[in-house]
Structure 1
Amino acid sequence: MRTPWRRREPLDRVELAGLLPGPGDPELPRDRLTALEEHLMNEIQQHQARQQSDPQSDPQPQPQPQPWPQSDPQSERSAALFPPPPPVVERRSRRRIALIGAAVAVAVLAGAVGLGRLGPGRESEGGGQAMVPAPVVRVVPGTTQGLGSTVDRISVAAGKERQTEPGPGQFIYIRSQVSWLSTDNNVDSGETRTWVQKLHPREVWLSPDGHKGWLIETGNGNTSKEGMGLDSDADPYLSAPSYDYLKTLPTDPDALLKKIYAESEGMGNGKDQEAFTVIGDLVREQLMTPELTAALYRAAAKIPGVVLVDEARDAVGRSGIAIARADEHSGERTEWIFDAKSFSYLGERTVQVREANGIAAGTVTARTAITERAVVDGMKAAPGKGKA
């Protein structure tokens, strides 16, 4: 005999709370949120680059990657383990994300959108990124002893550098070798593996006013061989600057640092870490007057937590000393590397100084090396060689 149907009464909230485990904190760390945003931007850019290089290969519109699929059971499990973060007010422009290009296949998305599993020297199924095991180095302790005198030498060297002023129709050209972090997470087994992109070239062209630009970075899966435009109608600001805008900044270190704190308030993992990050972004992939560059280094030395590291190597193996600061939240230490004799800027390195998020201490999660910085006569022109 069939059991008569009865309407189920909802459980009392107190009773339900007793049956279920307590809720966790759904808010992801700020560095993971940034990683999510940058990965999604890279997925979109890769799709657009493929269409630009071969318009007939993809005649039908394809759905954009969704970070939290609703129908796939594995994706639903990922969404349950890693709930979507609350809305975040993001003040950094899309153009800045493209310029920095810190493309990471985040652990959450590796399970949620089915990124290809990676092995040594292999490429992901859709990303076009050649991945290798992340290098591990000895974590050299940092110290404040000698920091002031070293920053003075670096600032004096920067102030003496000769620089070509970009004129109308010219572009700032920066070539570098880069590699960024990727984390591969198996949501079924819980296993996490950390890889980095294979070291690859990156070329950026920027107009002095910041409204026109071009990026070629095929090894990151960001662009096709022809590259992609970075044009922007937005007014430049500190986190998405232009050469002309940077010329308006104060060159007094105290006034400069005050402005950086004000402009970056509420962003990143604390005001001191974000101020250090802003300065590092400017130094790495911009052209500035020698006076401003020197002032930025002196301003950085005033940030609490900044230390001197007497041994570091950039992405192409050049050794030097480093001005560094460790992020208390992520356990990563960002190091600006300088030649130990000439005190010229070489590049940047990020090292995990303590185990966090499954990444062991000593793991190098990002590497850059600036190999050329010049003023050229046109978009996609190479120094001394005309059009690239």
Structure 2
Amino acid sequence: MNERTDLTELRDLFADKPHPTADRLAPARTALLAEARTKRRLRARAIGLRRLMLAGGLVAAMTAGVITVQTFNPSTPASAAEVLRLAAEAATATPGPQPRDDQYLHYERVAWTRSENRVSNVGGPRHVTGEIWASVDGSRPDLWWHKPSKSNPRGPAYKELRTRCPERGAGPPSYADLLKWPTDQEQLRRKLAERGNEMVLDKDTVTRTWNGVLNILGSPVPPKQQAAIFKIAATLPGIEMEELKDATGRSGIAVTRVDNRGPGGAVSRESLIFDKTSYVLLGGQESVPGLGRELWSITRPQITDVLPAWSTSLKRRGCL
């Protein structure tokens, strides 16, 4: 084969392939970084058309957002801290939304709870799919649509506008607020501990920081701040690695911290669950003896200018 023939075949092969965007290439880039870290070398490929055909398959896989040829196959991380460091790299490698203050972030959050070891969960078993439109700067009410679960299509459903109630404190930070949060480790650590103290009072600094991490990551977070939060979590004692499924049934690699904040000092396990290949955050889990188990997952947010037209018929109620 000559160079002219190679170029012609290469042009024809990619002629009908969509141009890969930054979003589509992010998982492949993250996997490549992980592969480089393990110092593995790719197996030699045949030359000529076979090489071009493999490249075509790789582009198609990246366009779909996944890698299917095992071209990149990072080894299992050695520790929970390593998982969080890989998650930090994934966060910075994936472009995040860049909304205006007057827009909304639209995403889905799935959560379910159930009893553990024959002990009924507080509030009883439930499975909720929530569709959320969050005001970017928090100046307008958020729209929450709680839908019946697929397993119980006749279950309760409701729609509500939730606003910030000053009498109940500042409430969770908005996306615009989080954009202003520091990425400096010491400053951010203090912010997380302050947030965690609002969730669980009278706990040590490590527990407050971990609870702040869990609370903030339960909604969309700007990539730089998310990466910095993962790096802080990686330094906390008591974290371990395990395999868990998120609320949608996806199997992932989890970072779990064990704590004794359950009833009567019972040991609880609180986890963040990541995709095994891209290390993108899928969701989390909380398991407390006597209180049951809760799983949650969150989708990537999309930017929208307005709320659905049907939201105008809703009355404002509920506090964030």
TM-score, normalising length: structure 2: 0.60
Q: Quick check: 1:146–1:308 contact (8 Å CA) kept in 2?
A: yes
Partner of residue 91, structure 2: 158
Aligned letter for 2:276? A
Give the Cα–Cα distance (whole angstroms) in 2 for the partners of residues 216 and 266 of structure 1.
26
Which one of 270, 287, 290 corresponds to residue 351 of structure 1? Answer: 287
Name which of structure 1's ranges 236-245 and 315-324 shifts more when overlaid on structure 2.
Answer: 236-245
Aligned letter for 1:373? P
Partner of residue 247, structure 1: 179
Kindly state the Cα deviation for residue 182 of structure 1 after the two structures are TM-superposed: 7.0
Kindly state the Cα deviation for residue 234 of structure 1 after the two structures are TM-superposed: 3.8
Give the Cα–Cα distance (whole angstroms) in 2 for the partners of residues 263 and 171 of structure 1.
23
Give the Cα–Cα distance (whole angstroms) in 1 for the partners of residues 168 and 187 of structure 2.
19
Partner of residue 259, structure 2: 327
Match of 2:301, SS state, is strand
Kindly state the Cα deviation for residue 380 of structure 1 after the two structures are TM-superposed: 3.7
Match of 2:87, SS state, is helix
Kindly state the Cα deviation for residue 351 of structure 1 after the two structures are TM-superposed: 2.7
Give the Cα–Cα distance (whole angstroms) in 2 for the partners of residues 247 and 235 of structure 1.
25
**For the structure 1 residues 268 and 291, does the alpha-carbon distance in structure 2 shift closer, same or farther, using more than 3 Å as the test?**
same
Gaps of 5+ in 1: 1-143, 184-190, 383-388
Partner of residue 294, structure 2: 366
Q: Quick check: 2:132–2:143 contact (8 Å CA) kept in 1?
A: yes
Kindly state the Cα deviation for residue 205 of structure 1 after the two structures are TM-superposed: 1.3
Aligned letter for 2:215? D
Match of 1:284, SS state, is coil
Give the Cα–Cα distance (whole angstroms) in 1 for the partners of residues 81 and 218 of structure 2.
21
Corresponding residue pairs, total: 220
Is 1:148 the counterpart of 2:81? The answer is yes
Which one of 214, 217, 228 corresponds to residue 283 of structure 1? Answer: 217
Is 1:274 the counterpart of 2:274? The answer is no
Partner of residue 379, structure 1: 307
Give the Cα–Cα distance (whole angstroms) in 2 for the partners of residues 235 and 324 of structure 1.
34
Is 1:302 the counterpart of 2:235? The answer is yes
**For the structure 1 residues 253 and 380, does the alpha-carbon distance in structure 2 shift closer, same or farther, using more than 3 Å as the test?**
farther
Kindly state the Cα deviation for residue 314 of structure 1 after the two structures are TM-superposed: 0.4
Partner of residue 180, structure 1: 113
Give the Cα–Cα distance (whole angstroms) in 1 for the partners of residues 147 and 165 of structure 2.
25
**For the structure 1 residues 345 and 380, does the alpha-carbon distance in structure 2 shift closer, same or farther, using more than 3 Å as the test?**
farther
Match of 1:258, SS state, is helix
**For the structure 1 residues 234 and 161, does the alpha-carbon distance in structure 2 shift closer, same or farther, using more than 3 Å as the test?**
farther
Q: Which has the higher contact order (CA 8 A, sep 6+)?
A: 2
**For the structure 1 residues 243 and 351, does the alpha-carbon distance in structure 2 shift closer, same or farther, using more than 3 Å as the test?**
same
Q: Percent of aligned pairs with the same residue?
A: 22
Kindly state the Cα deviation for residue 225 of structure 1 after the two structures are TM-superposed: 4.9
Residues 228-243 of structure 1: matches in 2 within 5 Å?
228-232=160-164, 234=166, 240-243=172-175
Name which of structure 1's ranges 148-157 and 225-234 shifts more when overlaid on structure 2.
Answer: 225-234
Q: CA deviation digits over 1:208-252, x for unaligned, max 9? A: 1113211111449xx985611112264998861111111111112
Aligned letter for 2:210? F
Partner of residue 215, structure 1: 144
Match of 1:342, SS state, is coil
Q: Quick check: 2:108–2:298 contact (8 Å CA) kept in 1?
A: yes
Q: Quick check: 1:349–1:368 contact (8 Å CA) kept in 2?
A: yes
Residues 119-138 of structure 1: matches in 2 within 5 Å?
none
Consecutive aligned runs of 4 or more in structure 1 exceeding 6 Å deviation: 235-238
Kindly state the Cα deviation for residue 307 of structure 1 after the two structures are TM-superposed: 2.3
Give the Cα–Cα distance (whole angstroms) in 1 for the partners of residues 102 and 125 of structure 2.
34
Give the Cα–Cα distance (whole angstroms) in 1 for the partners of residues 103 and 249 of structure 2.
32
Give the Cα–Cα distance (whole angstroms) in 2 for the partners of residues 294 and 341 of structure 1.
17
Aligned letter for 2:182? P
Partner of residue 129, structure 2: 201
Aligned letter for 1:146? S
**For the structure 1 residues 200 and 381, does the alpha-carbon distance in structure 2 shift closer, same or farther, using more than 3 Å as the test?**
farther
Gaps of 5+ in 2: 1-76, 150-154, 311-320
When you count helix as a share of all residues, which structure comes out higher? 2
Give the Cα–Cα distance (whole angstroms) in 2 for the partners of residues 323 and 231 of structure 1.
33
Q: Quick check: 2:200–2:208 contact (8 Å CA) kept in 1?
A: yes
Give the Cα–Cα distance (whole angstroms) in 1 for the partners of residues 208 and 286 of structure 2.
15
